[in-house]
Amino acid sequence: EAGVAQSPRYKIIEKRQSVAFWCNPISGHATLYWYQQILGQGPKLLIQFQNNGVVDDSQLPKDRFSAERLKGVDSTLKIQPAKLEDSAVYLCASSPGRRVGTEAFFGQGTRLTVV
Amino acid sequence: KQEVTQIPAALSVPEGENLVLNCSFTDSAIYNLQWFRQDPGKGLTSLLLIQSSQREQTSGRLNASLDKSSGRSTLYIAASQPGDSATYLCAVRGLNAGGTSYGKLTFGQGTILTVHP
């Protein structure tokens, strides 16, 4: 079974530029998460989708971050414009719907450096 | 608001030792708890998942326990090996208003484990 796929693996941009990350969850998984992990800290939830609807985006900086999940499958996370403090690893995860089980599976992450 | 704390922040042990990592959470209304391993520069690998109705789960040399009422979980690693060196993260899944499993996964800060030969 293929895991959660993320791209790119690494990205370096200048502040005030824009960037987009892509995630392809495990096939059939209804729930998709985007997490931000700053060096030395635990992951922080940015947004959670259930199919193509948003369940929780309370910690998403909506003035600069946006995310969408088209047709309830792939998802993109965008930052525009980027700030220095956005340097982090962005992790995507997916889990099945509640009838199947709720173990979360993570991708390898995208490491963003803003200079 | 759920808060998850992991103690210790870092741990260094000689090979062969048994060790315990601790995780505590403030809101006991959880659906499940999951332990992850993270190697440097890598994503998270799921180690064990404990449902709220369970007391423990075992996988090989790993054993995780859950005491929901006191808001605590422990990860026990037997006969540690240098290959166990990594950051260990615990995460709890809260319940949403309907009592389903759509609640968000909240992470602790992690415990950095070093096992030296």
pLDDT in tens, A3-46: 999 999 999 999 999 999 999 999 989 889 999 999 989 999 99
Section B101-108 average pLDDT:
78
Closest CA to B73 of B38, B113, B39, B30: B30
Section A44-61 average pLDDT:
91
Does the pLDDT value for residue A49 go beyond 50? yes
Of the candidates A42, A98, A107, the beta carbon closest to that of B107 is on A42
Closest CA to B105 of B116, B94, B89, B117: B94
**Chain A contact present for B36, CB below 8 A:** yes
Section A67-95 average pLDDT:
94
- For residue B43, the model assigns a pLDDT of 87
Section A69-94 average pLDDT:
94
Count CB pairs under 8 A between chains A and B. 63
Section B94-98 average pLDDT:
68
CA distance A16 to chain B (A): 25
Contact list in B for residue A102 (CB cut-off 8 A) is: 31-32, 49, 93, 101
- For residue A72, the model assigns a pLDDT of 80
Q: Are B41 and B51 in contact (CB under 8 A)?
A: no
Q: Are B7 and B22 in contact (CB under 8 A)?
A: yes
Does the pLDDT value for residue A99 go beyond 70? no
pLDDT tens for B7-47 read 999 999 999 999 999 999 999 988 899 999 999 888 899 99
| Residue numbers of B between 46 and 65 with CB closer than 8 Å to A | 46, 49
